[in-house]
Amino acid sequence: MRSARLHGVGDVRVEEEPAPRPGDGESLVRVTAVGLCGSDLHWFADGGIGDAVLDTPLVLGHEIAGVVEDGPLAGTRVAVDPSDACGTCETCLEGLRNMCPHVRFAGHGRNDGGLRELMAWPTALLHPVPDALSDADVAMLEPLGVAIHALDLGKPRLGHTVVVVGAGPIGLCAVQLARVAGAARVVAVEPLAHRRAAAAALGADVVLDPQDPDVLARLAEATGGRGADLAVEVAGTDEAVALAVEAVRPGRTVVLAGIPEPDRTTFPASTARRKGLTLRLSRRMGDVYPRAIDLVARGRVDLRSVVSHTFPLSRAAEAFAAAASRAGLKVVVEPGA
List, for residues 83-115, the tens digit of each pLDDT value: 999 999 999 999 999 999 999 999 998 999 999
Overall domain count for the chain:
2
Q: What digits encode the pLDDT tens for the residues 56-85?
A: 999 999 999 999 999 899 999 999 999 999
Q: Please indicate, yes or no, whether residues 130 and 230 belong to a single structural domain of this protein.
A: no
Q: Please indicate, yes or no, whether residues 237 and 321 belong to a single structural domain of this protein.
A: no
- Domain encompassing residue 42: 2-140+303-334
Query: Is residue 28 assigned to a domain?
Result: yes
Q: How many CB atoms lie within 10 A of CB 285?
A: 24
Query: Is residue 130 assigned to a domain?
Result: yes
Percent of the chain with pLDDT over 70: 100
- The predicted model scores a pTM of 0.95
Query: Is residue 298 assigned to a domain?
Result: no
Q: Lowest-pLDDT range, 207-211, 258-262, 269-273?
A: 258-262
Report the CATH number at residue 163: 3.40.50.720
Query: Is residue 97 assigned to a domain?
Result: yes
Q: How confident is the model at residue 244 (pLDDT cuts 50, 70, 90)?
A: very high
